[in-house]
Amino acid sequence: MSDDDLWESIDRLNDRLASTQPDRPPQEALLLRMLKLSEEVGEVAEAVIGATGQNPRKGVSHTWDDVRSELCDVIITAAVALRTLTPDTREVFAAHLARVTDRSLDPGP
């Protein structure tokens, strides 16, 4: 998948969500979109706990493939949430990634 395909998919997902959600005040819709991230992160935690068998009642209930899938859901949900905030999603993300990369990979003094 190319970078263009990725962001076109995010635009399409955002449009689909916007067209199928109940009519809500814009601020409420925005907050609910952001809260979806917490739900997805919780699913990552559940999958990690399940993959490591940390819940004695459930044992090993997930696989590391499940964890990878849930992490992808977090990334997609975050990208759609960012798209909800700005139509310039790819530019905003690229600029932020460049700043984080430069800061994180700078060897410093």
Question: Over the stretch 25-68, which tens digit does the pLDDT of each residue have?
Answer: 989 999 999 999 999 999 999 999 999 999 999 999 999 999 99
Element counts in the chain: helices (H) and strands (E): 4, 0
pLDDT tens digits for range 95-107:
999 999 999 998 7
pLDDT tens digits for range 17-26:
999 999 999 8
Across 58-80, average pLDDT: 97
pTM: 0.89
pLDDT at 80 over 80: yes
Q: Which residues contact 24 (CB under 8 A, 6 or more apart)?
A: 32
